[in-house]
Each structure stands twice: as C-alpha cells, then as structure tokens.
Amino acid sequence: MDCQYLPLTSTGQFSPLFLDYINQNDNVKPFYNRFPQVSAFGEQLNEKKFEDSKRQVLVQALERQYQSIAKKPDFSVLLEPNTFTVTTGHQLNIFTGPVYILYKLITTIKLARKLKETYPDYNFVPIYWMATEDHDFAEINHFSMFGRNYAWQSDQRGAVGRMNPQELKSLFGQIPEKLTLFEEAYLKNNTLADAVRYYVNELFGAEGIICLDADDAALKRVFMPVMEDELLRQESGELVQKQTELLENLGYKTVITPRDINLFYLDDQLRERIERKEDGTYRVIHTKLKFTESELLNLLHEHPEKFSPNVVLRPLYQETILPNLAYIGGPSEVPYWLQLKSVFERFQTTFPILMPRNFAMYVPSVSAKRINKLGLTPEELFQDTLTLKREFVEHHTRHSLKFDNENKTVNKALDAILHKAQMVDPTLEKAVLAETKRFANAVARLEKKMRRAEERNQEVGVRQLLAVKNELFPNGSLQERSENFLTFYLNDRQFLQKILAAFDPFDFRMQLCME
C-alpha cells in the first residue's frame, strides 16, 4: 500500500484550535501540559503517580467484565508499577460506526508499541474506554456500508451500554452480506457493552487492546471523592468556564458548555442531569426524583454507580482510575480537553498528553488508478467539487475558456468611450458605466457557457473525476467520517492489518492510503 501525505491545514477540514494545537501555536500552550512527542513521555512517566490499590480495583473490574470471553488479555501486567496505559474512547456505534473509530483504536495500539520501543523498561497497555454511559442513542444507532445506511430502531432509553442488542436481529435481514462476527456479538450478548467488548477483542485483542467499561460500582467508588466534591462545592463548571472564556477571547470556538453540577443520575432506562435548587434540595430533571443533601450523599456512598460524570468530569474519571499517560482523540475531542486543564489542577491529577489520532483516506485500487490517470494531486482531491471540476476542465482543455485578452482590449475601448461621453456631457457617465457592467455580466455568462460546453467535451474525464470525489467524500464529507470499515474489509480481509502497518502515531498529517 502506497501512502501519500498532506498537511491537515491543506485539507480545509479542521478547526483553527485543533490546527493551532498540532502546530504548537504559543496561544494554545497554556491549555495543555506536554505536547505529544516521544521525548515528552519520559517526563510524563516521571510525573504520573498511581496507587497499587487502584491497580487492584482496575484489574478486578476487568476480570469481571471479561469473564464470558474465552481468549482474554492478561490483566496481571496492570498490577505492575512500571505498567502504564494509553487510552482512546468512543461511543458504542453499531457495527463499529464510521471507520475513523477503528483508526483511533489502531493509533492507540501503535502508540503503545512505539513507547515500548523507546522505553523498554516500562509496559504500555492500549485501552479502549467504551462510552457505555452515554445516552445519545441517535448518535450510535446507524452506520453506512457500501453507501447504504442502516439503522437500529428501539424504544430502549438511558445508558446505551446497558441496552439489549438482540433487537438488531431484524437489521441483519436487511444486510446482504453475512456478518458472522457481529451476529455473534449482538445476538449472543445481553448488553451492548458486552457485545462491543466481544467484537473489539476479536478484531484487536491479539494486538493487546483492552476494553474498559467504567459503568462499574467499584470503579465509581474510586472516583467518589470527586463526585462528592462536585455535589457540594460545584467548582468544576466555573473552572471550565474561565478556560472557555480565555480560549474564546483568543478567537477560538469551544466545544463543551459546563453545568453547575457535571453529574448525571444513572439507573436502568434513565440518565438525567442532577440540579441543585435554591432551597438546597437536589432534583433529577425530567423525573420526580428529589433528594436532600444528606440523602444524596448517603446514596453516593452506598451506590456510587448511580452517578455518572458528564463530558467535563469524564476525562478526570478516566485519569483517576487508570495509570494513563495519553489520550488519543479526534479533531473535536482534543479541543474540548483543552478546556479542562484547570479541573485536573484542582484535583491534583496529572493532565494526560493529548494525542491526535491518525487521519486516513483509503483509496481502493480502481480509484487509485483513476487518480493517477487523471493526474490529480492530494491537494486537489480536497478542493470543493465545483473548484475541482473547473480546474480539471481548464487544465485539460485545448481551448482558452476565458476572455482575458479580449476583456483588456474591450475595457480599453470602453474607457475611451467613457472619456468621450464625459467630454460631451458628464451626466452620460452613469449610462456608460451601466452598459459596461452589462457587458461584463454578458462576458461572464458566456464564459460559464463555454466551460459547460467544454465539460461536455470532456464528459468521460469529468465523470471519472466525480466518481473518485464521491467515493472519497461520500455525501460531501470525509470518507473516514462516513463509511464503515466493512466497506473495505469485505473486499480485502487484510485491510485492518494494512492500516495497522501504515499508521505512525506521531505523524499528524492526512494519509492517503493507495492500493
């Protein structure tokens, strides 16, 4: 597989804040701890402290969560004080969702390998933090394969990790291909969390990745002091708001909006925000649940699993229960972590190194041949369709499609006409300028007609050009954000291994993987 590379700044697909982060702009440096380069991990290793007692809780939780899986990872390495993790996380999109989610997992695996090569006295374990407590079902209930969309319809509510995936049985009848792995995962497990763990272990377990479900009473108990502080003092939201204002004053758009209390109440079929009222009581919105302060604290101490951190506290929860060095995230995740550093400082927790995931566009052999035949560069592929088509036609035409020289001659004549008219009667200026404008508009219309006519002359090339563009940018978006990995894997069973071989976790460029 031949790879070509393109700076992310040349793609037009990423926010200024994300680009300034990967380009180490001085404006962004106060909002993170260390920039993701190999040498920074030595400093991170020295700073990260993690108690043996937390390691015990973590390993016991993983043993429980993997008890139904035959070929499970060796969790005992996590008990060793020289073992650390690198983590990515994502929602539990059905059938893995867009292919970039697997790119995140692969980046994390490759990062762990790279760190082991550089720091051989340490162990590095790649972790997939399954967003089992997320309750936005509409974001995970669909996927696209070979350009066709499939969706899971359900009346289930609450944390998606607790949902029963056996409802997906009807969806398999709509899919022409036989997907044995996912049938095993979804139809033989009672929760979506168990199903995702199963197929990720089948796909990447041999590469050392471990799936963690943080919807766990024992893990929540480790995080309980932070959740109690949040209920009583409610300082995290104010800290994030200050960071948000600093970023916005620098001209950046921010991603997350903090709450006064950044916790949800979590139960079966229910995940709703907790609010504190003026009378000092706590309410769970959209329910009749109401607690006094002492009642809520008693509930927290007896059942910490009934409390779920939102986007403000979830990263801190992650870094509290894992011996973690880095978080691997996408172009929306890295910016929201930049809003959170002061919360980590408040709870004296090491801020992880923020690693952008690898970005890739997979170009099958047919499209790769077309790209070479059409003479397209990576930069041209990322142009909008109209610009790409216009420049392609202009480059390949044997004719001149613009009236530049003619316009110069006519404009010179029009200037002379304007001068003569002004000499006769100054009030004629407006009339002459109006005629000049009409003429310019007529010329522009003629140029458009000529371009359209030339597009018809180059119909074969234009059609091939648009076919490539639509394949790599389905529905106008990046391929990795739309297509499922099965689109490529079903045609090439080595697809994931090829991507695994191609990725470099420290290369922050768009990668065009050509077959």
Q: Give SS3 for 410.
A: helix
Q: What is the pLDDT of residue 399?
A: 58
pLDDT in tens, 336-346: 999 999 999 99
Q: What is the pLDDT of residue 414?
A: 73
Q: How far apart are the first and last CA of the chain?
A: 5
> Tell me, what amino acid is at 231?
L
Residues 6+ apart with CB under 8 A from 412: none
Integer angstrom CA distances of residue 495 from 8, 96, 157, 176, 515:
23, 15, 35, 20, 10
pTM of the model: 0.89
Lowest mean per-residue pLDDT among 75-79, 241-245, 351-355, 454-458: 454-458
Q: Decide: helix, strand or coil at residue 4.
A: strand
Question: Which residues does residue 86 pair with via DSSP β-bridges, in sequence order?
Answer: 126, 326
pLDDT tens track for 44-63? 999 999 999 999 999 999 99
Residue 402, pLDDT > 70, answer no
How sure is the predictor about 304, in pLDDT bands with cuts at 50, 70 and 90?
very high
CA-wise closest residue to 499 among 484, 512, 490, 483: 512
Count the Cβ atoms, other than its own, within 10 Å of residue 41.
24
* Nearby residues of 17 by Cβ (< 8 Å), 6 or more positions away: 28, 247, 252, 253, 254, 335, 338
Tokens at 88, concatenated:
């990515």
How far apart CA 359 and CA 479 sit, in angstroms, is 10
Residue range 347-360: mean pLDDT, rounded: 98
Query: DSSP character for 490?
Result: T
Contact (Cβ atoms closer than 8 angstroms) between residue 254 and residue 335 = yes
Which residues does residue 97 pair with via DSSP β-bridges, in sequence order?
Answer: none
Task: Tell me the C-alpha distance between 132 and 138, whole Å.
Answer: 14
Which helix (H) or strand (E) segment holds residue 143: the answer is: strand 142-145
DSSP 351: P
Mean pLDDT within 470-494? 94
